[in-house]
Amino acid sequence: MVTPLAPDASSFEVRFMSLYLQGRGVAFPCDALGHVDMDALSECARNNYLFARGMVGRDNAAPRICRTVPASSAA
């Protein structure tokens, strides 16, 4: 069963940080529980997400769910 993302789902992202290159990693939009709507991702982003998940413990640290900064307050 697929749970729909909350209206403010874009205010969270799941981050996969590199174990070897400090400051490097990838992030994807998710809900507060870390669920990524893979149907909403482009094919490239979906492939990157699946690769990042598969490389946890090898090249990437365990994923972290982080609240994103709204664009209006980022400036």
DSSP label at residue 35: -
Total number of domains constituting the chain:
1
Structure tokens at 26: 């990838």
How many CB atoms are located within 10 Å of the residue 38 CB? 12
The range of the structural domain enclosing residue 36 comes to 9-69
Q: Mind listing the pLDDT tens digit for each residue in 18-54?
A: 999 999 999 999 999 999 999 999 999 999 999 999 9
Name which of 63, 60, 55 is nearest 18 in CA terms: 60
The owner of tokens 């940080």 is: 17
Would you say how long the chain is, in residues?
75
Phi, psi (rounded to 5 degrees) for 11? -85, 5
pLDDT digits (tens, 9 = 90+) for 58-67: 999 999 999 9
Kindly state whether residue 3 falls inside one of the protein's structural domains. no
Whether this prediction's pTM lies above 0.85 is answered by no
Between residues 57 and 70, the one the model is more confident about: 57
Task: Say if 47 falls within a structural domain.
Answer: yes
Query: How many CB atoms neighbour CB 45 within 10 A?
Result: 15
